[in-house]
Amino acid sequence: MIAIYAELVKKQREFFLAGNTRSLSFRQRQLDLLERLISENEGQILAALKADLGKSEVEGYLTEVGFVLNELRYLRKRLKRLMKPKPVPTPLAYVGSRSRIIPEPYGVVLIISPWNYPFQLTIAPLVGAIAAGNCAVIKPSRNSAHTTALLAELINSAFPSEYVTVVTGEAGGTRAILQEEFDYIFFTGSTGVGKVVMEAAAKHLTPVTLELGGKSPCIVEPDADLKQAAKRIAWGKFLNAGQTCVAPDYMLVHVDAKDELMGEMKKALAGFYGSEPKTSADFGRIINQSHFRRLAGLLAEGTVVYGGETDPDKLYISPTIITDVLPDGQLMQDEIFGPILPVLTYRELPEAVKHINRLPKPLALYLFSRSKDKIEYVLSSTSSGGVCVNDTISHITTKWLPFGGVGASGMGKYHGRATFDTFTHYKSVLLSSTVFDVKQKYPPYKTPLSVVRKLMRFL
Q: What is the pLDDT of residues 88-144, one digit of tens each?
A: 999 988 889 999 999 999 999 999 999 999 999 999 999 999 999 999 999 999 999
Task: Point out the residues that are catalytic.
Answer: 211, 245
Of the two residues 247 and 334, the one the predictor is more confident about is: 247
276-318 pLDDT, tens digit each: 999 999 999 999 999 999 999 999 999 999 999 999 999 999 9
Task: Give which of 388, 287, 386 is closest to 338, Cα–Cα.
Answer: 287
- CA gyration radius, the chain: 25
Of the two residues 273 and 1, the one the predictor is more confident about is: 273
331-348 pLDDT, tens digit each: 999 999 999 999 999 999
pLDDT at position 53: 98
pLDDT at position 459: 83
Indicate the pLDDT class of residue 1, thresholds 50, 70 and 90: low
Indicate the pLDDT class of residue 2, thresholds 50, 70 and 90: confident
Name the helix (H) or strand (E) containing 78: helix 66-83
pLDDT for 263 beyond 80: yes
The one-character DSSP state at 83 is H
252-262 pLDDT, tens digit each: 999 999 999 99
pLDDT for 163 beyond 90: yes
The one-character DSSP state at 430 is E
Distance CA 69, CA 393 (A): 18
The one-character DSSP state at 382 is -
- Strand-pairing partners, residue 429, are 100
Name the helix (H) or strand (E) containing 253: strand 250-254
Indicate the pLDDT class of residue 43, thresholds 50, 70 and 90: very high
Looking at every residue in the chain, the average pLDDT score rounds to: 96
pLDDT at position 326: 83
Task: Give which of 233, 215, 300, 313 is closest to 269, Cα–Cα.
Answer: 233
Lowest-pLDDT choice from 93-102, 153-162, 169-178, 384-393: 169-178
Task: Give which of 187, 266, 192, 236 is closest to 365, Cα–Cα.
Answer: 236
pLDDT at position 452: 87
Which residues make Cβ contacts (< 8 Å) with residue 84, sequence separation at least 6?
103
DSSP three-state, residue 298: coil
Of the two residues 261 and 328, the one the predictor is more confident about is: 261
Amino acid at 426: Y
Indicate the pLDDT class of residue 171, thresholds 50, 70 and 90: low
pLDDT at position 149: 97
Q: Residues of the chain with pLDDT > 70: what percent?
A: 99
pLDDT at position 329: 83
Distance CA 338, CA 239 (A): 10
pLDDT for 181 beyond 90: yes
Distance CA 377, CA 106 (A): 40
DSSP three-state, residue 147: helix
Average pLDDT over residues 6-34: 97
pLDDT at position 169: 73
Go through the domains of the chain in sequence order and give each one's CATH number: 2-212+410-426 (3.40.605.10), 217-404 (3.40.309.10)
The gap from C-alpha 189 to its chain's centroid, in whole angstroms, comes to 9
pLDDT at position 436: 81
372: left (phi over 0), alpha (psi -120 to 50) or beta: alpha
pLDDT at position 48: 98
Distance CA 298, CA 315 (A): 15
Q: Residues of the chain with pLDDT > 90: what percent?
A: 91
Spell out the alpha helix ranges (H) of 359-448.
372-381, 417-422
185-195 pLDDT, tens digit each: 999 999 999 99
Distance CA 327, CA 333 (A): 9
Lowest-pLDDT choice from 94-98, 246-250, 405-409: 94-98
CB atoms inside a 10 Å sphere around CB 233: 25
Name the helix (H) or strand (E) containing 266: helix 258-273
